[in-house]
A and B are shown apart, each in its own frame.
Chain A
Amino acid sequence: MGFKGLLASTALLGTLALSGAAAADPVKVGLVSTLSGPSAVLGQHMRDGFLLAVKELNGKLGGQPTEVVVVDDELKPDIAVQKVKGLLERDKVDFVAGVVFSNVMGAVAKPVTANETFLISGNAGPSTIAGAGCSPFFFSASYQNDQNHEVLGKYAQDKGFKKVVLIAPNYQAGKDSLAGFKRYYKGEVADEIYTQLGQLDFSAELAKIAAAKPDAVFTFMPGGMGVNLVKQYRQAGLADTTPFLSAFTVDETTLPATGEAALGFYSGAAWAPDLDTPANKAFVAAFEKEYGYIPALYAAQGYDAAKLIDSALKATGGKTADKAAVRAALKKADFSSVRGNFKFNTNQFPIQDFYLVKVGKRPDGKVETMVQEKVFSNYGDAYAEKCEMK
């Protein structure tokens, strides 16, 4: 990580030197992302999205020369805390942005907000921070964790599916996912299958699903687990008979591996590459041109996080010392989000639209998720009322 981080920051510093920036100290942003290990691809999307926004703004946020320090949390909370402390104490960053995984967020949120530094989440949105543990220094540029699962639950309910099978890894996020689905789905749950975290072969589970003959399957299988499940689901012939509803399972981070095996599979999200807003069209085109791959929602959220900081700094004239002013400016969310509709709730999590998306083929033959229908409009999360912040 360190090398790439250094590279990114030196590149940005380079542009500063050329533009002969004003004498003021540059704005410093610490970008925390997961850049090593099996889940690094999510962090890579987020980092690339964030850096693209900074690059498009000529290395400046709010018109101020900006230095982005990229650090790799290695998906290890203890290491993340160490590195974040380095950002706060050594680099003295004005903002911390990013964080893909909720367990990492759980570890770093306290040290950052207690230091009165703004933390802009590029993905993780645990219920604790959305609810009673909300903080004036925490803003989410992504979503609250439950929401994407709720989209599929609502869809399954509206669609009138009578019987579903749920399958998720046996850990906290897996259980939360199924609970989120069931918040809106009231039909029969024929079976709830919990698999081992990191499981690669699902043949036993697929045989169980086939035996249960459900109207649909809902799953939450992030990363490589999802790739395997999707491919094996297709190979088992279930894709032709039973709709595959999922959250964080088929997206642009896994589609390069699943390819056409995932065609016609459903997911729920606040964003998709083909979402029809002018800002999004420009973003996706620029991203593909810059990095040569299709952005996933993590990239879009990283991009929005940078744009959010930019908008706030513009409003304060680039000053970061007056925390109250920065906070008020952030709360306005005065930027054109790639998601179109975007404003902050009382808990400083977004109120936005959520869509059912379906994997389809683009004219150029590549597969990506495509918006099918809007499931929730101006949707805030269920925890905001537990947040006592004004």
Chain B
Amino acid sequence: MTLTLFLVQMLNGLQLGILLFLVAAGLTLVFGVMDVINLAHGVQYMLGAYLMVTATALTGSFWLGLPLALAAALVLGLLLERLVIRQLYGRDHLDQVLATFGIILFVSEAVRMVWGSAPLAIPMPQALSGSVRLMDGLNYPVYRLVLIGAGLGVAGLLYVLVTRTRAGMLLRAGATNAPMVSALGVDINALFARIFAFGAMLAAFAGAMAGPILSVEPGMGDNLLILAFVVIVIGGIGSMRGAFVAALLVGLIDTLGRSFLTDILKLVMSASAASAAGPALASMSVYVLMAAILFFRPRGLFPAPA
């Protein structure tokens, strides 16, 4: 277990964290501002990847395909808000869970009918397909570094958007007291629709960016959605800053747990017991983290003002 290996694993954790942040950001926006539990956020991530498959195939270029896919995701987000989500404002959370779960089933099946059930691929942009040698025998794809950069860029952009612009101000106001914002003459429905579509676009961006390194397949968003919920609960529901910190935390804990827990356990127990317990503990680690944080800070690391 050398220092280089440790640093490489930190980098891997960072990259997973960034991906999680992109998904969790939209989720926490919708949950925090609109008080809607959107289980369908995972399929929006998946949809983003599929739209990207089609967009890159149509345009023949990653860079032309990306804005096209994002625009399509935005439109689909608006459509979904109009058709389904709008009926759910102010309803019971159980209703929202049921309805958005229905969306999962519907979209997954629709995706399967349109694109088929075999996993698909998004070609990596030529300019970014190189790699850097980080340690002996292991190349680190440049694309992954770009993914980290893009994620950080989006995080910065969101920060400016939320704290420095009028739209961000409305968004924060909406999170604090939506009826009051509405009473002050802001068209709250239009605001909600935009937030929802923007969240959908963020998820789609994550899916589109993840496409070249991951396989594009039905159900690809399911696991990520659970982690994204863990992230927003740890970070404090509705808090963008919380989502960012929590996403990096979860990414690092998960990756470091997967890479080193078995070896660490081998120091204190037999090899076979360690290789049985290690992976089990590693997959539990983020949930243990969540439980611990909720014990000390029941409303998350950065609770949104009540």
Answer yes or no: do A and B interact. yes
Contact with A along B137-181 (1 / 0, CB 8 A): 111110110000000000000000000000000000000000000
Q: Is the CB of A207 within 8 A of B9?
A: yes
Q: Is the CB of A195 within 8 A of B119?
A: no
Residues of B within 8 A of A201 (CB): 12, 15-16, 19, 213-214
Q: Chain A's nearest CB lies how many Å from the CB of B258?
A: 5
- In the complex the two chains form, what is the Cα distance from A40 to B1 in whole Å? 40
Q: Is the CB of A211 within 8 A of B2?
A: yes
- In the complex the two chains form, what is the Cα distance from A201 to B144 in whole Å? 11
Residues of A within 8 A of B135 (CB): 207, 210-211
B65 at the interface (CB under 8 A from A): no
Residues of A within 8 A of B216 (CB): 257
Q: Is the CB of B217 within 8 A of A224?
A: yes
B54 at the interface (CB under 8 A from A): no
Contact with A along B85-113 (1 / 0, CB 8 A): 00000000000000000000000010010
From 196 to 238 in chain B, residues with beta carbon under 8 angstroms from any chain A beta carbon are: 213-220, 222-224
A258 at the interface (CB under 8 A from B): yes
Chain B residue at minimum C-beta to C-beta distance from A43: B117
From 271 to 306 in chain B, residues with beta carbon under 8 angstroms from any chain A beta carbon are: 275, 278-280, 282-283
Residues of A within 8 A of B9 (CB): 204, 207
A208 at the interface (CB under 8 A from B): yes
Given contacts A170-B279, A257-B118, are A210 and B137 in contact (CB under 8 A)? yes
Q: Chain A's nearest CB lies how many Å from the CB of B144?
A: 7
B5 at the interface (CB under 8 A from A): yes
Q: Is the CB of A41 within 8 A of B117?
A: yes
Chain A residue at minimum C-beta to C-beta distance from B8: A207
Q: Is the CB of B218 within 8 A of A204?
A: no
From 181 to 206 in chain A, residues with beta carbon under 8 angstroms from any chain B beta carbon are: 192-196, 198-201, 203-206
Q: Chain B's nearest CB lies how many Å from the CB of A38?
A: 4
From 123 to 146 in chain B, residues with beta carbon under 8 angstroms from any chain A beta carbon are: 131, 133, 135-141, 143-144
Contact with B along A251-282 (1 / 0, CB 8 A): 00110111100000000000000000000000
Chain A residue at minimum C-beta to C-beta distance from B275: A192
Residues of A within 8 A of B223 (CB): 198-200
**B136's contact among A39, A170, A210, by CB below 8 Å, is which?**
A210
B116 at the interface (CB under 8 A from A): yes
The total of chain A residues at the interface (CB under 8 A) is 43
Q: Is the CB of A203 within 8 A of B12?
A: yes
**B137's contact among A200, A213, A224, by CB below 8 Å, is which?**
A213
Given contacts A237-B138, A257-B120, are A38 and B219 in contact (CB under 8 A)? yes
Given contacts A200-B214, A207-B138, A236-B139, are A36 and B112 in contact (CB under 8 A)? yes
- In the complex the two chains form, what is the Cα distance from A224 to B219 in whole Å? 10
Q: Is the CB of B121 within 8 A of A257?
A: yes
Q: Is the CB of A170 within 8 A of B213?
A: no
Chain B residue at minimum C-beta to C-beta distance from A199: B223
Given contacts A211-B2, A211-B5, A231-B121, are A206 and B279 in contact (CB under 8 A)? no
**B138's contact among A37, A192, A231, A236, by CB below 8 Å, is which?**
A236
Q: How large is the interface on B (under 10, 10 to 19, 20 to 34, 35 or more residues)?
A: 35 or more
Residues of A within 8 A of B138 (CB): 206-207, 210-211, 236-238
Q: Is the CB of A196 within 8 A of B279?
A: yes
- In the complex the two chains form, what is the Cα distance from A67 to B138 in whole Å? 55
B255 at the interface (CB under 8 A from A): yes
Chain B residue at minimum C-beta to C-beta distance from A39: B117
A172 at the interface (CB under 8 A from B): no
Residues of A within 8 A of B131 (CB): 235-237
Residues of B within 8 A of A127 (CB): none
Residues of B within 8 A of A41 (CB): 116-119
Given contacts A38-B117, A207-B138, A259-B121, are A194 and B279 in contact (CB under 8 A)? yes
Q: Chain A's nearest CB lies how many Å from the CB of B2?
A: 7
Q: Chain A's nearest CB lies how many Å from the CB of B114?
A: 14
Known: A208-B5, A235-B213. 13 other contacts (CB 8 A): A36-B112, A38-B217, A39-B117, A44-B118, A170-B279, A198-B223, A201-B15, A201-B19, A203-B12, A204-B255, A210-B135, A235-B131, A256-B121
User: Which B residues contact A (CB, under 8 angstroms)?
Assistant: 1-2, 5, 8-9, 12-13, 15-16, 19, 109, 112, 116-121, 131, 133, 135-141, 143-144, 213-220, 222-224, 255, 258-259, 262, 275, 278-280, 282-283
In the complex, 27 of the A-B residue pairs with CB atoms within 8 angstroms, ordered by the A residue number, are A38-B117, A40-B112, A41-B118, A170-B280, A170-B283, A192-B275, A196-B283, A201-B15, A201-B213, A203-B15, A204-B259, A205-B259, A207-B259, A208-B259, A210-B135, A211-B137, A213-B136, A224-B217, A227-B119, A227-B217, A228-B213, A228-B215, A235-B141, A236-B140, A254-B119, A257-B119, A257-B217
Question: What 5 A-B pairs are tightest by C-beta distance, nearest first?
Answer: A237-B139, A227-B215, A210-B138, A40-B117, A257-B119
